[in-house]
Amino acid sequence: MKKIQAEGISQIKLIDATPIGINIRSTVATYANIHDELRKIYARAPLAKDKGFKAGDFSYNTGSLRCPTCDGTGKISLDVQFLPDVDIPCPDCRGSRCSKEAFRILRKKKGSSGAGDTIFVFDEPTIGLHPLDVITLLSVFRHLIENGATVIVIEHDLDVIRSCKESLTGRYI
């Protein structure tokens, strides 16, 4: 195994267009292991420790803190006679997928920047996205950059390239 070290960079996250899977609960955050890291962080919170919660309890797939009404899907299906079922946001969790008790677990924000030591590489991130989702994606890029991260986007969509060039940092990314 080869290893490269660079001062000021602690991690590199590659997010590419590989299909996530057919599980309805899978998200880009799941695929990039972001949820795993968040579960660990929340499991270390003082109240979580007091209550005996482990990282797995914060999973909306199987954890004890997932919403019991929608079983962690964030939505419920209404059976409308003679029409296709209609999915609406869960009335209890409002689409968050978590139980009310999960929201009682708070963590203290660490001081300083957040993502300044991370490089994010996005390979064709707009494949299959609706144009409104692309706008959301661009705001995520903007947020990462504002928090000190380096964002590299490999993309063929000319509108995304133009947006990255013009509105994010004034330089190519």
pLDDT profile of the chain (173 residues), mean per 10: 74 69 60 76 91 90 90 87 88 90 82 72 83 83 84 86 65 44
pLDDT score for 69? 93
pLDDT score for 19? 60
Domain hosting residue 70, numbered range: 23-108
Same domain, 89 and 28: yes
User: Which of 108, 132, 153 is the last residue in one of the domains?
Assistant: 108
- Tokens at residue 91, please? 């009335």
Q: If you count DSSP H runs as helices and E runs as strands, how many of each does the chain have, helices first?
A: 5, 5
pLDDT score for 28? 61
pLDDT score for 173? 43
Any domain includes 133:
yes
Same domain, 94 and 161: no
pLDDT score for 172? 43
φ and ψ at 106, to 5 degrees? -115, 150
Strand duo 86-89 + 118-123: pairing: unpaired
pLDDT score for 26? 62
Same domain, 55 and 84: yes
- The single-letter DSSP state of residue 16 is -
